[in-house]
Structure 1
Amino acid sequence: MNSPILTDARLELIAAARHFYQQGWMVGTAGNLSTRLPDGSFWITASGKSKGELALGDFVRIYPDGRVELTADDSKPSAETAIHQVIYNLFPEAVSCYHVHSVEANLVSCFAPGDVLPLPALEMLKGLGVWEENPNCVMPVFANHLQVKLIADEIKERFSVTPPQVPALLIRNHGVTVWATSPIDARNYIELVEYIFRYMVAGHRIGIM
């Protein structure tokens, strides 16, 4: 009997990061990706690594109790690890959490006068789980703080009372974060929300948004 082939969860993160880097959504060392393992721990991109050139050693493992697994080169986890931890605690079904920095995400965050961004009733919303005709859908928007824990605390506080309509959130002038039940779905969600953002920016430019 053949033994099962074990696939390292980090390989999908490497592929997704390279794809997002090529789209211009993870320039320099910006952005962070994580995926959760069966024991509740998760791999997250290390701080200060180019997302277009990640290797297996460019990730840090975080355990449910917050313990950080030491790496050979003493890499530090992403500065936004606290946000990933909150997402995984709030949504037990979530397996992956992806955060990218695109120009469009930052622009549309400025379209929201309050703490939500109204989304156009596009077909793409079905890919995010919104199966309604002409849905009235919004994406939560959070203020950006230098101390990431403050952002994580606000996400926890708000989502504990008002769950989001879509598995995504915006941090103003910072970027978008999505979460999903698989790495493939998380990658698709990033592509879908970025399509919606590009539509909104284009619509704003020609005066239909």
Structure 2
Amino acid sequence: MAAQVEALLREEIVMVGRRLYERGLIVAGDGNISARLPDGSILMTPAGLCKGELTPEDLVVINLEGELLRAAAGRRQSTEQHLHLHVYRRRPDVLACVHAHPPMAVALTLVGITMSEPVLPEAMLALGPIPTAPYARTGTVEMGEAIDPLVADHDSMLLARHGALTLARTPTAAYFQMEQIEHCARILHAAHLLGPLEPMPHERIAELYHLRAALRMQN
């Protein structure tokens, strides 16, 4: 059974990598995708390879300490494993993570435009507030430390000057959250070009937060 689950997750992660690449959410060897296996180890995309051209055999398995458990010849774990491992240690409910570099969302972090304000109803329902973690140097434990205050209460977040991170029950669900982040970032960018944002009435914001909480309980 565990072997079947792993085989399916390998196929799903490869598919997600291809979608991220085709949608321009990552380029070259950027980004990484991971999933928690039934035994608690982590299946993850390898370092240095284009995520749009992976095969299931390319993926590596690591433990929660970041030690390589299984990998094909020439494959090694990503230096950004610290980001994923921090999430899995803090959130036992999270079974998959996607880290990508959505261009417009990253651009917003460069000019100080936040995505945490409740201005888009659909985004509030699907993603909740999207906070921005402070800049941290890629490939270091500092990345985990940067997201630490956000991980407990958020499933989608921006990484200042770097990218975005989404947490979900499946790699596909985490991918769709990443798509939505970039879509919302484009809308927000257009709104800032057109003029000052019109805030939503407080009572409608509270309404949406209650609805989101109810939807999360159902899932």
TM-score normalised by structure 1 residue count: 0.83
> 1:82-121 maps to which residues of 2 (within 5 A)?
82-112=82-112, 117-121=115-119
Contact preservation (8 Å) 1:110, 1:173: yes
Contact preservation (8 Å) 2:79, 2:139: no
> 1:1-209 maps to which residues of 2 (within 5 A)?
6-7=4-5, 8=7, 9-112=9-112, 117-122=115-120, 123-128=122-127, 130=128, 137-156=129-148, 158-159=149-150, 163-164=152-153, 166-209=154-197
One-letter identity of the residue aligned with 2:157 = L
Supply the distance in 1 between the matched residues of 2:150 and 2:133 (Cα, whole angstroms): 11
Structure 1 residue ranges (4+ consecutive) displaced by more than 6 angstroms after TM superposition: none
Q: How many residues align?
A: 194
Supply the distance in 1 between the matched residues of 2:141 and 2:61 (Cα, whole angstroms): 19
Q: Which segment is superposed worse, 142-151 or 92-101?
A: 142-151
Q: More helix per residue: 1 or 2?
A: 2
Contact preservation (8 Å) 1:36, 1:43: yes
Supply the distance in 2 between the matched residues of 1:16 and 1:83 (Cα, whole angstroms): 18
Q: 1:149 to 1:65 in 2, by over 3 A?
A: closer
Identical counterparts, % of pairs: 27
Supply the distance in 2 between the matched residues of 1:182 and 1:30 (Cα, whole angstroms): 20
Contact preservation (8 Å) 1:82, 1:149: yes
What are the ranges of 5 or more consecutive residues in structure 2 without an aligned counterpart?
198-219
Q: 1:23, CA displacement in angstroms? A: 0.7
Contact preservation (8 Å) 2:34, 2:45: yes
Supply the distance in 2 between the matched residues of 1:6 and 1:34 (Cα, whole angstroms): 17
Contact preservation (8 Å) 2:156, 2:167: yes
One-letter identity of the residue aligned with 2:145 = D
What are the ranges of 5 or more consecutive residues in structure 1 without an aligned counterpart?
131-136
One-letter identity of the residue aligned with 2:68 = V
Deviations 1:128-174 (A, max 9, x none): 2x4xxxxxx45132213145211212323x247xx43x312211121
Supply the distance in 1 between the matched residues of 2:72 and 2:19 (Cα, whole angstroms): 27
Contact preservation (8 Å) 1:105, 1:173: no
Q: 1:95 to 1:29 in 2, by over 3 A?
A: same
One-letter identity of the residue aligned with 2:48 = G
Contact preservation (8 Å) 2:32, 2:98: yes
Supply the distance in 2 between the matched residues of 1:23 and 1:203 (Cα, whole angstroms): 22
One-letter identity of the residue aligned with 1:144 = A
2:106 is paired with a residue whose SS is: helix
Supply the distance in 1 between the matched residues of 2:117 and 2:51 (Cα, whole angstroms): 29
